[in-house]
Structure 1
Amino acid sequence: MKKLRIVFMGTPDFAVGILDTIYKNNYEIAAVITAPDKPAGRGQKLNQSAVKIYAQEKGLNILQPTNLKSEDFLTELKALNANLQIVVAFRMLPKAVWNMPELGTFNLHASLLPDYRGAAPINWAIINGEEKTGVTTFFIDEKIDTGAIILKKETEIAANETAGELHDKLMVLGAETVIDTLKLIESNKVKTILQPVEDRKTAYKLNRENCRIDFSKPGKDVYNLIRGLNPYPSAYTILVDGENEWNIKLHNVTFLEEKHDYTSGKFLTTKKTIQITTPDGFIEILSIQFPGKKKMKTAELLNGMQFSDDAHCI
């Protein structure tokens, strides 16, 4: 058995779940590397990463380099004498970093590689209507998410599951997979599988363009987009009602498949319901968010707002 001395690299909540499991399994953590504090909000108060907050609570050594290639950081990293590095939802590493430890650097990715390499694998698996996904550990190499696979574990995606719910499920599965990977490494039983070079399904970075809803698409595709972006960053549309125009976010919805004669994007309201038409049915809105407002249930919104028969989404 090899004694592991680990450097952990990560930033968001997803990484915290993995770090917590490593910590609770009594592995030696030489340091935690996370993003520098960033000013946020109106007061520009420094915002600490979720990983930093957790590491502080546990009294772990924390490094927050701004430049991963700087000589000062590389010297500091080498002085830790770690023989293994683990990366979860961090940023691309230079070779001088990932090639440093004796046992290598492995990454946990929230997809079944080689599918969904990239920045948003959880979201795109749902957006594309996948029925299963999972997590993969692999040794990092020069490219993004292309290294030799160590372990993969699979799980089903429920028909109504949101990105937030799948995130939490994969965090638990990911933690189990990382521990199993550590056991293989410390017992020298790792047998890797090389990935194909070509991309298959890609987890593109989410942006304003691919988060906008196109109601001319089939209702199931619209439904998958909305749940695949729920709770963050949220799918949005432009609602037009007379001279008023709002950028609205849709959160919880259902899809009702049904023939109708409306044009796509029609914004239909009753005293308690909102539906938006697609070519093959209706997206029923359960929670919605107007600019500058909190997310609210449809009934709450309709208590204070009324819409004309001409309201529609573009």
Structure 2
Amino acid sequence: MKIIFMGTPEFSVPSLIKLSENNYKPVVVVTGLDKKQGRGQKLISTPVKIAAENLNIPLIQPLNLKDPAFLKQIKSIDADLACVVAFRILPEELLTIPKMGTINLHGSLLPFYRGAAPIQRAIMAGEKETGVTTFFIKKKVDTGNILLQDSLKIGENEDFGSVHDRLSELGGDLLLETVRGVKSGNIEERMQDDSLATNAPKINASDLNINWSNSAKSIHNQVRGLSPFPGASTKLMNKKIKIFKSEVEDEMPDKYSPGEVASVEKEFFTVSTGKGGLKILELQREGKNRIKCADFLRGMNVPVGEKLE
């Protein structure tokens, strides 16, 4: 069975490895271009490129997915199936090349959280469960017929980084099971119920700023969904900080308005919100490293009543 694998970030890597280690090693991997990073502007390979090189799989790194030369190269492979995990939106002429179709692995239980940021959005919405879905790609994003799904519970204080890593492993197992099922013909497709669909748009700058008038639970979910990257942000003593770890304090004195520091302990300080308080456990000052709040408080005097905004 000739498989083309398409993916770029760390999320895609377990899928590539699990296929390769179970007799479904792709004949070629399509991934993003190397990017310049850091002060030295050194070219950095994508995580999928590094994995493919370790597995001795040929690579293609196209600039334009509609490039006739690239499409001709893909057609010449005469692939049975394409597997896509966290790649770009594919042009229709590319989708139809593999004989058996093109499968996508998505980081949600479709039709919920269609879009670019399903894991972050699920956590930010306070979901207690999420999962992964494999489906045949259609022209409209994340709307194709579902093949298989698997789910996991989201911990009350679990962040995006943790859920991402668990879903990437779960997704690798599900994609392998899907490929086996497609090959044997034992999977029944089912249509998505569009009436249940929700969107998960890309995280943008407006998602990062904390509104202290929201409930502590809502802000806590925002912090979890944006940790470890890019981080929920606010200002403390006119300096921007990012908050990466927090806990909800349900009972708070009424005398503090949203955004005011209500208490300062050795390990954390608590900020009043629209409902309840938020314990700040890990944070980062602009231009500094992420640290535990206890270390921050050793070098910074945060008075009770100080306003975050």
The bucket for the TM-score relative to the shorter chain is: over 0.9
Q: Name the structure 2 match of 1:70.
A: 67
- The count of residues paired between Structure 1 and Structure 2 equals 307
1:112 partner amino acid: L
User: CA-atom RMSD, angstroms?
Assistant: 1.4
Q: Name the structure 2 match of 1:292.
A: 287
Q: Name the structure 2 match of 1:257.
A: 250
Provide the C-alpha distance between the structure 1 equivalents of 2:307 and 2:271, rounded to a whole number of angstroms.
8
Provide the C-alpha distance between the structure 1 equivalents of 2:252 and 2:301, rounded to a whole number of angstroms.
26
Q: 2:94 aligns with which of 70, 93, 97?
A: 97
1:250 partner amino acid: I
- Offset of 1:28 from its aligned partner? 3.4
Provide the C-alpha distance between the structure 2 equivalents of 1:201 and 1:71, rounded to a whole number of angstroms.
35
Provide the C-alpha distance between the structure 2 equivalents of 1:121 and 1:98, rounded to a whole number of angstroms.
22
TM-score (norm 1): 0.94
Q: 2:166 aligns with which of 166, 169, 185?
A: 169
Secondary structure in structure 2 of the residue aligned to 1:203: coil
- Offset of 1:232 from its aligned partner? 1.5
- Offset of 1:104 from its aligned partner? 0.3
Greater CA deviation, 144-153 or 160-169? 160-169
Matches within 5 A, 1:18-97: 18-97=15-94
Identity %: 40
- Offset of 1:69 from its aligned partner? 0.1
Provide the C-alpha distance between the structure 1 equivalents of 2:303 and 2:179, rounded to a whole number of angstroms.
60
Checking the alignment, whether the CA contact within 8 Å between 2:131 and 2:167 is kept in structure 1 is: yes
- Offset of 1:164 from its aligned partner? 1.2
Consecutive unaligned residues in structure 1, runs of 5 or more: none
Provide the C-alpha distance between the structure 1 equivalents of 2:178 and 2:303, rounded to a whole number of angstroms.
58
Matches within 5 A, 1:1-314: 4-198=1-195, 200-239=197-236, 241=237, 245-260=238-253, 261-267=255-261, 268-314=263-309
Checking the alignment, whether the CA contact within 8 Å between 2:145 and 2:190 is kept in structure 1 is: yes
Consecutive unaligned residues in structure 2, runs of 5 or more: none
Question: Does the C-alpha gap of structure 1 residues 310 and 256 become closer, same or farther in structure 2, counting only changes over 3 Å?
Answer: closer
TM-score (norm 2): 0.96
Provide the C-alpha distance between the structure 2 equivalents of 1:62 and 1:178, rounded to a whole number of angstroms.
20
- Offset of 1:96 from its aligned partner? 0.9
2:93 partner amino acid: A
Secondary structure in structure 2 of the residue aligned to 1:275: strand
Greater CA deviation, 135-144 or 152-161? 152-161
Checking the alignment, whether the CA contact within 8 Å between 2:258 and 2:272 is kept in structure 1 is: yes
Provide the C-alpha distance between the structure 1 equivalents of 2:102 and 2:266, rounded to a whole number of angstroms.
57
Measured against aligned partners, the alpha-carbon deviations of 1:231-265 in whole angstroms (never above 9, x if no partner) come to 112111122x2xxx222110111111113120101
- Offset of 1:30 from its aligned partner? 1.0
